[in-house]
Amino acid sequence: MTEFSECTFEEVEEMFYRVNQSIPLSSTEKTIDFSKSSLNKFFSNLKAVLEPVFGLIEPKIDFMDAASRNWDQAIKSSGPYHLA
């Protein structure tokens, strides 16, 4: 990964054009702020959103993991299965 800092927008657009072999930035891509501070803010906000979601999901994952282990133990302890 390469970080380009203190580049003008035109320089970023030119690099993108060269890397993508004649596929210039779209109008939407031109509006994206790729600065380090902007990306740090994005990831901080993402973390703030995901932490409550993980808090809701993690107990369910733990429950399913324990249920799966209990199921495996029950199958192993019940002996071989025979089809009639």
Flag whether the pTM goes above 0.85. no
- What are the distances in angstroms from CA 60 to CA 5, 10, 68, 70, 79? 43, 48, 12, 15, 29
pLDDT at residue 9, as a whole number: 81
3-state SS string for the chain: CCCCCCCCHHHHHHHHHHHCCCCCCCHHHHCCCCCHHHHHHHHHHHHHHHHHHHHHHHHHHHHHHHHHHHHHHHHHHCCCCCCC
| Predicted confidence (pLDDT) per residue in 25-68, tens digit | 777 777 777 777 887 888 888 888 888 888 889 899 899 989 88
Sort 33 into a burial class: Cβ within 10 Å, 0-12 / 13-18 / 19+.
Answer: exposed
